[in-house]
Every structure is written in C-alpha cells, then in structure tokens.
Structure 1
Amino acid sequence: MSTTGFDYTITRTLDAPADRVWAAWTVADEYAVWASAEEVVLDVRPGGAWSSVMVIPGGARVPLTGGYVEVVENKRLVMGMNVPGRDEPVLMTLDLTADGERTQISLSQTFDTAEDRDQAEQGSNFLLDSLTTHLAAA
C-alpha cells in the first residue's frame, strides 16, 4: 500500500470456493449478471484490457474501461480503471484466500482524497453485496 493517500480494504468471507469467486470476476457473462453491467469484455491477463457499461439504479449507463496489471488465477487480480482527467488508472487489488468451500475476499484501493476513497468504498461494498447474493443463488 502507498504510504500517502487515502486507502480502504474490505474483507468478506463468501460461501463459494475460490474458483467460483474467480470466475465471477473473470468470465464476462457471469460478471455481467452480478455487477449490473452490459457489453462486458474481459481479457484477463497482464496487459489485457477490460470494458463494460455499468447500469446504475435509475437506468443511467456508465461506460468503464481499464486493464489488468497482475493476474494470479484463483488468488489475485490487480485491475486498473481509467478515470477521466487522470493520467494514471486507479488500481484495485482483489485477493482471494481459499478456505475449503468458502473464500475470503479482500478488495483494496488507494486514492488522492478521502471523498474519492469513500465513494469507491461504498461502490465496492455494493459490488460485494451483489456478488454475495449471486454466489448464494448459484
């Protein structure tokens, strides 16, 4: 983690094995379902790109793009998201720790401002809530 900036880490235990959680993040059709996204393209490899259109409550559509920095199957995914007005993508680190039929997931990010961090942390909690529901229904 960076020693400057505002960061957060969210850790949860999911009722699904690590390979199921990994697939939820790396298989476009599956990601689209739980992340409320359309037009999902995931090229999951270091240097690969991703894109999607997030459909937020109320029906607004937000196009998102980014790339993958680090990919360790079923363990770690470091993704960058392109943010208008920023030279460098915002990185998000996703760590998975297998525990039999359960998986501990940690999401972490660092931002320049507390406001950006708080907004991203809220969004990540929303994503993890949706992921938890999706895995429970599978």
Structure 2
Amino acid sequence: MNNSNKTITIKRTFDAPLSLVWEAWTTAEHIAHWWGPKGMKTTIIEHHFEEGGTWKYSMIMPDGNEFLSEGTYLTIIPFKKIKTTADFKPMTEGVQIEILFEESGGKTDFTFHVMHPTEAYRIAQEKMGIYNGWGSVFDRLQAYLITL
C-alpha cells in the first residue's frame, strides 16, 4: 500500500463466510446494527451502495451527542474491495477508507486501511484512539455476524 506513513491498517479474520460479511458491510439494514463503537445507536440517513454513491449515518452516543459519518464510494469490486471517502464529524475528516475482503476457509480475512492526508494527521488520529474505536466497531460486527 502506498503512503504507508499516512495509513492506519487494521486486520481481522471474521468467523463468517465472505458472502455474509459482505452483506453485513454493504446493506443498510445490517449496517445499522453494528456501525459505530460500542454504546452508539446508528441510524442510516442515506446509503447508495454504488460507485459514486453516497452514504451518511448518524451515530448517537449514550450521552445524546450526535456524530455524523458520511462519504462517497470511489471503488466497489464485489466481494473483494470497497474504497470510499469518509468524514466522521467532528472527529475525523478528509480520509479515505479501503476495505479488502478475502475468503479463507469459511472465514473472512479483512484488511481495513484508513488513509490520511498527512502523516501528522495519522499520528494525531492514533493518539485520539482510532485503533480502539475501530476495534470496537469490528467487535460489534463480529457479534452481529453470529446472529445472522
């Protein structure tokens, strides 16, 4: 991956087949169940899963504060790759996310890249707790996959 000094990478293996992980990641009614760190309630405002399509989700914290996450899909290769712009207002703005999916013996290997405009911004995001935040989201996704 180019620009590695600007990129945060998180890898997981989900204990679910690729088709199920893909469906959970790309379908609005599923996304609402797991998107956002633990304790957040997510409402899908818009979700147009196609190249050039936009997405916008509202995440409500337990204390009532609202965060908006939104972006535009840049690349979609079914069951392999999603690339999107992403803003998580007010915490993170102007990043791109690239998600890679790979079937692995009935499980799904998952690589998640967050590409920042500068190395300094990446470092600031690390200090803010980006690994814990996304780790919590992926824990919620794994727990949700088990219910499907």
Band the TM-score falls in, shorter-chain normalisation: 0.7 to 0.9
CA distance in 1 between partners of 2:4 and 2:34 (Å): 33
Given the two structures, how large is their TM-score scaled by the length of structure 2?
Answer: 0.80
Given the two structures, how large is their TM-score scaled by the length of structure 1?
Answer: 0.86
The correspondence for 2:143, drawn from 117, 126, 133, is 133
CA distance in 2 between partners of 1:129 and 1:83 (Å): 19
Unaligned regions of 5+ residues in structure 1, if any? none
Residue 4 to residue 55, structure 1, CA distance change in 2 (3 Å): same
CA distance in 1 between partners of 2:81 and 2:33 (Å): 21
CA RMSD of aligned residues (A): 2.2
Residue 94 to residue 100, structure 1, CA distance change in 2 (3 Å): same
2:16 aligns to what SS in structure 1?
Answer: coil
CA shift, 1:72, in A, is 0.8
Residue 12 to residue 84, structure 1, CA distance change in 2 (3 Å): closer
8 Å contact from structure 2 (residues 44, 58) kept in 1: yes
Identity %: 24
Unaligned regions of 5+ residues in structure 2, if any? 36-40
1:82 aligns to what SS in structure 2?
Answer: strand
CA shift, 1:41, in A, is 2.0
For residue 38 of structure 2, what is the aligned residue in structure 1?
none
2:64 aligns to what SS in structure 1?
Answer: coil
The correspondence for 2:133, drawn from 99, 104, 123, is 123
CA distance in 2 between partners of 1:121 and 1:133 (Å): 18
CA shift, 1:106, in A, is 0.9
Paired residue total = 136
Q: In terms of mean alpha carbon deviation, does 37-46 or 11-20 score higher?
A: 37-46
CA shift, 1:122, in A, is 2.5
8 Å contact from structure 2 (residues 67, 89) kept in 1: no
After superposing on structure 2, the runs of 4+ consecutive aligned residues of structure 1 that deviate more than 4 Å are none
Q: 1:43-58, aligned counterparts within 5 Å?
A: 43-58=48-63
For residues 63-93 of structure 1, the C-alpha deviation after alignment (integer angstroms, 9 at most, x for no partner) is 22211011011111111113669xx831011
Residue 134 of structure 1 aligns to which amino acid in structure 2?
A: Y
Residue 32 of structure 1 aligns to which amino acid in structure 2?
A: A
8 Å contact from structure 2 (residues 69, 89) kept in 1: no
